[in-house]
Structure 1
């Protein structure tokens, strides 16, 4: 009897997300074997320019190429879906103290990445990982809500009034956990800090 060919399986990883859209699971990024510990280079971009897709009805995985530039916050990011788009916020670069507060969209029909809001220390939410994000609708408008997180204390965005921050020192660096809540209004591309 001939041996059955093994089905494709994604590599082991951690600090990633898997998001359901329709009958498919979309898994991207995370800390995985061979991921360069650099801000960006060709190998990292190549590894991060694929999406792992699982067809729920068959349980089969496949790896599909993407277009556009994927987020640099490759691990510890937050993800949520609205319709046929998956949104990715924040994360860290897999090296040093390089955290992000960028927001990207990924279209599951075109497999194209699009940067909606770049990483900057000039606006909130803070540059962080290990936060969460949910999609909500208010008065017919779509919003993404980013909640909590962990990131560097220095060279970060201004603190949100009313939010709580707790600082810890690790070797020569200071980090903070927070309970920030920020809204991103999709129709205007605007970050909103509730009062």
Structure 2
């Protein structure tokens, strides 16, 4: 597996709206129901076959810290929905889930979910890690850790797709909002905000087979 750099070919969210969005989402789930999805925001819902999977996002009770036992406990669960049951079921996972729990990117290939980047939920802590979740074994596997020196901007709120070329699966992450880039790659734009954060239209491609 490897990063591929070069020219391939922004989406921006205000992470400070976190608490407002969570409160708005929570209002739709004001009546407790174990078969309903807990109110949240800044998350993704991904389809695999006839199933839907939801993980993390901004939600009541999720600590806004880099890492903690409580954060790991909450993010070690994934919500699973199938039309046959008509219910959301909380399923426990093993392994280590990503730390970028808000505004991460996510896509699916067969039975695997891939998560990129995201905002930690505290200060200006963004990630450029890639983590895989096997939806059969429900086990996390980190493919690439967050690395501040890597020429892939640590970011959130971007886009992500998967594609296959010559029998090889790739992940393509496009744009986002996050930390100052370690390297400003040619052909892309990097814009600094007054807050000190940056937005970009950077494209990052990852080869899953090498």
Fold agreement, TM-score > 0.5: yes
* Equivalences, count: 179
Deviation at 1:124, TM superposition (A): 2.7
Report whether the alignment pairs 1:84 with 2:84: no
Is the 8 Å Cα contact of residues 128 and 151 (structure 1) preserved in structure 2? Answer: yes
Larger RCO: Structure 1 or Structure 2 (Cα < 8 Å, ≥ 6 residues apart)? 2
The TM-score with structure 1 as length reference comes to 0.88
SS of structure 2 residue aligned to 1:45: helix
SS of structure 2 residue aligned to 1:44: helix
Deviation string, structure 1 residues 39-80 (Cα, Å, up to 9, x no partner): 000000000000000013432110000000000000100000
Is the 8 Å Cα contact of residues 132 and 147 (structure 1) preserved in structure 2? Answer: yes
Report whether the alignment pairs 1:27 with 2:54: yes
The residue number in structure 1 matching 2:191 is 166
Change (3 A) 1:42 1:186: same
Report whether the alignment pairs 1:151 with 2:175: no
User: 5+ residue gaps in structure 1?
Assistant: 1-5, 189-195
Deviation at 1:122, TM superposition (A): 1.6
Q: Write the distance in 1 (CA, Å) between the matches of 2:184 and 2:136.
A: 37
The TM-score with structure 2 as length reference comes to 0.82
The answer to which structure has the higher strand fraction is 1
Question: Pairwise CA RMSD of aligned residues?
Answer: 1.3
Is the 8 Å Cα contact of residues 25 and 56 (structure 1) preserved in structure 2? Answer: no
The residue number in structure 2 matching 1:70 is 97
The answer to which structure has the higher helix fraction is 2
Deviation string, structure 1 residues 111-148 (Cα, Å, up to 9, x no partner): 00000000001213200000111001111110000000
Is the 8 Å Cα contact of residues 128 and 152 (structure 1) preserved in structure 2? Answer: yes
Moved over 4 A (4+): none
User: 5+ residue gaps in structure 2?
Assistant: 1-32
Report whether the alignment pairs 1:99 with 2:130: no
Q: Write the distance in 1 (CA, Å) between the matches of 2:97 and 2:34.
A: 26
